[in-house]
């Protein structure tokens, strides 16, 4: 597929400045870290995915270290001394909110890294707070409420149907057909189950009937937004959305595929959301489009699942629609991280220790 003109590197940037060594930091995954099998399934292939990404880096002549995000990480980083780290950690000891400890460690060690910093990663695992930040800054979100107990009074301004989500866990965990409630009785039962099982608050928001668009923002020499609409295979459901089963279990007849979507207004919303949530390098947003043409941001991921198209990651699948390969994505991320590190004087502005591809 031919690339869009705007995606071609400028003529004086035909060669890429790349590190000679890099660490890929991935989630350490054990079944007993997670309260349920479904949450475990979202991370069980973390090492496999990191290994596949390392093969791409090796093709780019970058020596790669695969390191688990656990208590031994600091010592291993000191020994390896990578020039850059790809932070793919989605949880530490099964707790997603602890993912922000990885950029904190990398900051302490002075190692440049891809993805969001401490604040951006911490924000990502509080969906309610993200909603409030977006809303305060003019980015549209559905009407919503945070429930700390299943008996909390329901905000009278909320209108059914309502969808309930774990406030601190991504990966579509517990987003099943049962996630949408049409009555208060059903909602209370679901809240009771989720709070007792996962021991965390639950975000409840109005379900937006309509289409769903995924936005990827990728930083390079500038911020570029790539939009794709999800085309669902099941169209006879009352409420059409991506369930956990669609995303992770590949149920026959379910799922979706992407097709290009364009709207300059939505792109500006995405850029604003990216900045508000302190994201860096790349980010992913899910947006619902109602029948009257209004957008509503329903999810924001600072360090979304990252990998090539064969791993069925949204970032590679969507950018492939625009003629951008996974190698190109890697080059943009690595270049952006090195430029940022040079600006912070974490790296000298020389060719020492880097190579051109």
User: In total, how many domains does the chain have?
Assistant: 3
Residue 202 and residue 214 in one domain: no
What is the band of 351 on the pLDDT scale with cuts at 50, 70, 90? Answer: very low
Average pLDDT, rounded, for the chain: 91
Helix (H, G, I), strand (E, B) or coil at 173: coil
24: domain CATH number is 3.40.50
Task: Let me know if 45 is exposed, middle or buried by CB neighbors in 10 A (0-12, 13-18, 19+).
Answer: middle
- SS3 for 253-272 is CCCEEEEECCCHHHHHHHHH
Q: 206 - beta bridge partners?
A: 162
The pLDDT tens digits of the residues spanning 267-319 come to: 999 999 999 999 999 999 999 999 999 999 999 999 999 999 999 999 999 99
Cβ atoms of 228 and 67 closer than 8 Å = no
What is the band of 248 on the pLDDT scale with cuts at 50, 70, 90? Answer: confident
Residue 151 and residue 298 in one domain: no
Expressed as residue numbers, the domain containing 173 is 143-206
End-to-end CA distance of the chain: 22
The pLDDT tens digits of the residues spanning 6-65 come to: 444 443 344 558 999 999 999 999 999 999 999 999 999 999 999 999 999 999 999 999
In a domain, 354, yes or no: no
The pLDDT tens digits of the residues spanning 109-164 come to: 999 999 999 999 999 999 999 999 999 999 999 999 999 999 999 999 999 999 99
Residue 224 and residue 102 in one domain: no
Task: Let me know if 100 is exposed, middle or buried by CB neighbors in 10 A (0-12, 13-18, 19+).
Answer: buried
Residue 125 and residue 109 in one domain: no
Residue 180 and residue 264 in one domain: no
**pLDDT higher than threshold 90 for residue 173:** yes
CA 46/CA 239 separation, integer angstroms: 31
174: domain CATH number is 3.30.1490.20
Overall average pLDDT of the 222-249 stretch = 89
State percent of the chain over pLDDT 90.
83
Cβ atoms of 270 and 218 closer than 8 Å = no
């Amino acid at each position: 597929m031919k690339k869009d003109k705007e995606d071609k590197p400028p003529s004086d940037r035909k060669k890429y400045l790349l590190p000679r060594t890099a660490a890929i930091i991935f989630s350490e995954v054990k079944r007993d870290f997670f309260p349920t099998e479904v949450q475990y399934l979202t991370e069980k292939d973390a090492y496999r995915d990191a290994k596949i990404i390392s093969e791409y880096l090796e093709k780019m002549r970058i020596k790669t270290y695969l390191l688990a995000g656990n208590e031994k990480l600091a010592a291993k980083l000191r020994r390896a001394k990578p020039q850059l780290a790809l932070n793919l950690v989605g949880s530490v000891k099964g707790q997603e909110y602890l993912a922000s400890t990885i950029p904190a460690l990398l900051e302490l060690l002075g190692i440049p890294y891809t993805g969001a910093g401490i604040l951006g990663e911490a924000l990502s695992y509080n969906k309610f707070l993200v909603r409030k930040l977006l809303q305060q800054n003019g980015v549209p979100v559905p009407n919503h409420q945070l429930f700390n107990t299943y008996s909390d009074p329901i905000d009278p301004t909320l209108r059914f149907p309502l969808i309930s989500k774990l406030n601190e866990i991504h990966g579509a965990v517990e987003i099943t057909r049962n996630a949408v409630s049409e009555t208060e009785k059903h909602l209370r039962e679901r809240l009771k189950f989720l709070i007792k099982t996962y021991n965390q608050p639950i975000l409840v928001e109005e379900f937006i009937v309509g289409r769903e668009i995924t936005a990827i923002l990728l930083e390079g020499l500038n911020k570029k937004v790539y939009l794709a609409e999800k085309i669902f295979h099941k169209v006879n459901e009352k409420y059409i959305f991506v369930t956990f089963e669609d995303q992770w279990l590949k149920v026959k007849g379910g799922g979706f595929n992407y097709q290009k979507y364009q709207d300059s207004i939505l792109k500006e919303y995405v850029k604003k959301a990216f900045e508000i949530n302190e994201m860096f390098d790349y980010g992913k947003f899910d947006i619902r489009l109602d029948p009257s043409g209004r957008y509503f941001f329903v999810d924001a991921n600072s360090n979304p699942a990252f990998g090539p198209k064969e791993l069925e990651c949204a970032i590679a699948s969507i950018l492939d629609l625009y003629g951008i390969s996974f190698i190109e994505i890697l080059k943009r991320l690595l270049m952006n991280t090195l430029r940022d590190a040079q600006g912070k004087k974490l790296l000298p502005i020389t060719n020492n220790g880097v190579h051109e591809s």
